[in-house]
């Protein structure tokens, strides 16, 4: 099974959505992001997904330039703003060894954001995984320090 590229894609996609939310009124500065969820590799195996990281949003920087997947040409995406103000995203990616579909919602405020994701992956060998994750974030301050 090819878990490393999939896990990387999940995190990159989540970061990408945080960065691509053009309608998001996110204040520039240092942001803390907490990612938590689980991957179901098969009916008897669940693997936790957890990661904390900081990102920097610079003054005047377009949100879509903050984080971009390593090779965005492998993915197509679409999004729409829902009636509740959240943005719903769908990604379809053909990565080496797998096809991945990721759907989720994203909502921001000037100093917070929240997103929820469902991700399915099918490898070339026919192995299926499903992942659910929640990403929460908050602005820590205007100074990004050493975070680029």
Average pLDDT, stretch 16-37?
72
Q: Is residue 106 part of a domain?
A: yes
What pLDDT score was predicted for residue 76? 84
Q: What percent of the chain has pLDDT over 70?
A: 74
**Residue 72 to residue 49: CA distance in whole angstroms:** 23
Domain contains 146: no
Mean pLDDT of 32-53: 93
- CA nearest neighbour of 82 among 143, 18, 23: 23
Task: Answer yes or no: is 75 within a domain.
Answer: yes
Count of domains for the chain: 1
Q: What pLDDT shows up at residue 23?
A: 47
Residue 57 belongs to domain spanning: 3-139
Q: Which tokens hold the place of 143?
A: 């100074």
> Residue 62: its pLDDT value, please?
55
Only one residue has tokens 């920097």, namely 56
> Residue 88 CB: number of other CB atoms within 10 A?
14
Strands 87-95, 128-141: pairing kind = unpaired
Cβ partners under 8 Å of residue 58, min gap 6: 28, 144
Q: Does 147 map to a domain? A: no
What average pLDDT score do residues 101-120 get?
85
Residue 144 belongs to some domain of the structure: no
Does the structure show a pLDDT above 60 at 108?
yes
Question: Is 148 part of any domain?
Answer: no
Average pLDDT on 90-110 reads 86
The larger pLDDT score, comparing residue 108 to residue 51, is at: 51
Mean pLDDT within 42-60: 88
66 pLDDT higher than 60: no
What confidence category does residue 107 fall into, taking pLDDT thresholds of 50, 70 and 90?
A: confident
Mean pLDDT of the chain: 78
Residue 81 lies in a domain: yes
Q: Which residue has the higher pLDDT, 40 or 14?
A: 40
């Amino acid at each position: 099974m090819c878990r490393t590229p999939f896990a990387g894609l999940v995190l990159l996609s989540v970061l990408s959505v945080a960065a691509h939310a053009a309608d998001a009124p996110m204040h520039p500065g240092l942001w803390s992001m907490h990612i938590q969820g689980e991957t179901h590799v098969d009916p008897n195996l669940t693997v936790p997904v957890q990661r904390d990281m900081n990102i920097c949003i610079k003054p005047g920087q377009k949100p879509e330039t903050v984080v971009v997947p390593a090779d965005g040409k492998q993915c197509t995406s679409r999004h729409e703003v829902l009636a509740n103000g959240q943005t719903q995203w769908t990604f379809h990616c053909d990565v080496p060894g797998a096809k991945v579909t990721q759907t989720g919602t994203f909502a921001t405020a000037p100093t917070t954001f929240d997103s929820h994701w469902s991700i399915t992956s099918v490898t070339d060998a026919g192995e299926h995984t499903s992942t659910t994750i929640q990403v929460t974030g908050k602005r820590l301050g205007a100074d990004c320090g050493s975070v680029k």
